[in-house]
Amino acid sequence: MKSTSRSYILYGGIALSACIVILTVLKYLYLWTEPLPEKFLVNADETERQFFYHFYNWFWEARPGFLLHIIPGGIALAVGPLQFLKRSSSSWFYLHEIPGYIYFISVFLSSSGGMSIALDAMGGAVARTGFFTASLLWMGTLLASGYFLFMQNYSSHSVWMKINFSLTFAAVTLRLEQPLLNVLGFDTITAYQIVSWVSWLPNLIFAFAYTNPFAVHFLKKQKEGI
């Protein structure tokens, strides 16, 4: 009972964080209106102004990719925690399988959009490589979880879904880390370069350490006598 309560608290916290990110994204979409809203740059220094102008122009030039990344990504954040609820015979289909299909499609679309817009990200090669790698791994771990589901290896499917959601949750950690880096004295562009890696890499390392996916797959093979 205590373990179940802790799980609900944990995933409830994740869901709340996801909702905050979604609201933040909606605010950004509201700000990106023409003409450029100068009132948001009143107290910005020159580096911040350059960053904002580049980001603004980047958004309008790559709008389809941005929207493909942002909207499905928000949906994936919202429904992702439902994938980790305990199985129940009465509500499993509605709380896991249907949201699971929605999550899979959302991550597939969002990671595709992420890879396309990463190629022109602010921060040069460091940021572009970081964000592209994150999107590529996000797609790869999703396909791995789908493969194991197709093979009816549900333990490995569950493990790779947890790893995949650690990358989905990078949307939350990025928005926590960048303001913190600014407070610590990093300029906006340097902070952006840092979070292009730090927003997702520790999440991924923790998820691998927590789930040990290759050990799970090996034990499954042993049980099957392969």
Tens of pLDDT along 58-109?
776 777 888 888 889 888 988 888 777 666 555 555 666 888 899 999 999 9
What number of helices (H) and strands (E) belong to the chain?
11, 0
CA distance 62 to 67: 9
Domain that holds residue 139: 2-224
Query: Total domain count for the chain?
Result: 1
165 vs 83: which has the higher pLDDT: 165
Q: Which two tokens stand for residue 139?
A: 């797609």
CA distance 114 to 108: 10
Closest by CA position to 197, among listed 115, 106, 135: 135
Q: Which residue reads 């990025």 in tokens?
A: 174
Summarised one tens digit per residue, pLDDT across range 209-225 is 888 766 555 445 545 54
% residues pLDDT > 70 (the chain): 63
Phi-psi region of 90 (alpha: psi -120 to 50; beta: other; left: phi over 0): alpha
3-state secondary structure of 62: coil
